[in-house]
Structure 1
Amino acid sequence: MSKYHVVIPCAGIGSRFGSVIPKQYSQLAGKTVLDWTLEAFLGISAISSLTVIYSATDDLISDYIQKFPSVQFLPVGGNSRAESVFNGLKALDVSNEDWILVHDAARCCIDSRDIHSLIEALTDGDIGGILATPATDTIKKVDPASNLVVATIDRNLIYQAQTPQMFKYRDLINALSHVKLDLITDEASAIELAGMAVKIVAARYPNFKITYAPDLELAEFILSRRIIN
């Protein structure tokens, strides 16, 4: 029977965040971003293992290693997100048929109900998939040279990719081994380039990635309300 393993790349420096510390270590609602992210997955009994991929030069991770003894921490972070994930996959002791769920450390608002929905939607087949939200605004295609609109795209065809992104171990490691890792921004892109299908599972709850400092305020509001409820 296939198992489920979560991989969280946590080696980024968050250059757009504008802080002296990486965004995953920022405080909100009494915990850090990484605390919230890890706890979301640790509360799901179907998950067999949880692995954090961090940079060998990260001197802030030691507290988390002590705080989360059931989590595996691997200092194999690379120069890009995809490289970190690939390095982590190579270090895992899992079956080719096991499912890998890759999740951004900075998506701390992930709701356990969406994680369950993703697993339930994919577990009976071989096709992997991702959490995503349908576009709600009008989408414009722009000429980058002139910054002029060249087309309006049917928003019913557009989804904003999120994480977790869930694929069979054999498919994901094979796909990542055949691409330029510095050009890949998510696992689904590598799977697509390998000619494999990717299923969309619509997210029902807020799951944005903290990118800029003001994002912390919205995340704190969401998580604080979740504590109350």
Structure 2
Amino acid sequence: MSKFIALLPCAGSGSRFGSALAKQYHPLCGKTVLDWTLRAFEAVMEIEQVLLVASPDDELIDDYAAKYTKVRIVKVGGATRAVSVNNGLRELKLMPDDWVLVHDAARCCIHPNDIRKLVNQLKNGTSGGVLATKAVDTIKQVDSAKQVSKTLDRQYIYMAQTPQMFRYQELTYALSRADLALVTDEASAVELAGGVVKIIESSEPNLKVTFPFDLQIAELVINSYLEDNIYV
């Protein structure tokens, strides 16, 4: 039977957040951003392990292994997300058909039900997929002068989120062929390697904390989750 392993790259500096403290360690509803992300994965029975890929000099990450039963920490994070994911995959040493769910550490509003939905809709197939939301705004494509060159049909536009779930062998192969300096998500690497990527629509808010004001929105979402007692 295939395993389901979550991999969270945690080595980013979060330069857009504008703080010396990495955004995943910022306080949120009495815990940290990373705590809420981990609580969601801990609540999903199918997830066997959560691998945190941290920077070699990250000391704040150390406490999380003792706080969560599924967490394992490796300090092999690289200069980019893709490098961190690639290094983390090497540490896992899984079977080819095992599944890896790569998730943004700062995407703390992930709902356990959306993780379950992703797993259940993909686990019996050969293709991986990503959690995503359908575009609701009009999307403009621009040229180098920021002049609109095309209006895209939003009927076919989805905003990719995480987790992004792929078979271990497929993902390691895709990243081995990719320019890791240019890869912004796992799905794009799989696409470039000729793989099929499915879209699984998220049902709940799945905000990624990127800017300081995102914490205010995340607080509202987390508090609503606590009222619904989802972390069990």
Q: Supply the distance in 1 between the matched residues of 2:203 and 2:68 (Cα, whole angstroms).
A: 28
**Residues 1-229 of structure 1: pairs in structure 2 closer than 5 A:** 1-144=1-144, 146-229=145-228
> Structure 1, residues 54-77: CA drift from partner, whole Å, max 9, x if none?
000112112223323531100000
SS in 1 for 2:60: coil
SS in 1 for 2:110: coil
Segment drifting more, 76-85 vs 66-75:
66-75
Q: Supply the distance in 1 between the matched residues of 2:123 and 2:70 (Cα, whole angstroms).
A: 24
Q: RMSD value over aligned CA atoms?
A: 0.9
Task: Give, in angstroms, the shift of residue 50 of structure 1.
Answer: 1.1
Q: Supply the distance in 1 between the matched residues of 2:139 and 2:34 (Cα, whole angstroms).
A: 32
Percent identity, aligned pairs only, is 52
Q: Supply the distance in 1 between the matched residues of 2:70 and 2:3 (Cα, whole angstroms).
A: 16
Matched AA of 2:183? I
Task: Give, in angstroms, the shift of residue 208 of structure 1.
Answer: 1.8
Query: What is the TM-score normalised by the length of structure 2?
Result: 0.96
Matched AA of 2:211? Y
Q: Supply the distance in 2 between the matched residues of 1:225 and 1:135 (Cα, whole angstroms).
A: 24
Contiguous gaps of at least 5 residues in structure 2: none
Q: Supply the distance in 1 between the matched residues of 2:93 and 2:38 (Cα, whole angstroms).
A: 20
Q: Supply the distance in 2 between the matched residues of 1:169 and 1:137 (Cα, whole angstroms).
A: 34
On the 8 A contact 2:53/2:88 being kept in 1, the answer is yes
On the 8 A contact 2:109/2:218 being kept in 1, the answer is yes
Contiguous gaps of at least 5 residues in structure 1: none
Matched AA of 1:115? I
On the 8 A contact 2:9/2:53 being kept in 1, the answer is yes
> Structure 1, residues 147-185: CA drift from partner, whole Å, max 9, x if none?
111111100111000000000000000000011101000
Q: Supply the distance in 2 between the matched residues of 1:61 and 1:199 (Cα, whole angstroms).
A: 32
On the 8 A contact 2:48/2:70 being kept in 1, the answer is no
Query: What is the TM-score normalised by the length of structure 1?
Result: 0.97
> Structure 1, residues 179-226: CA drift from partner, whole Å, max 9, x if none?
110100000000000011100000111112111000000000110121
Q: Supply the distance in 2 between the matched residues of 1:212 and 1:11 (Cα, whole angstroms).
A: 17
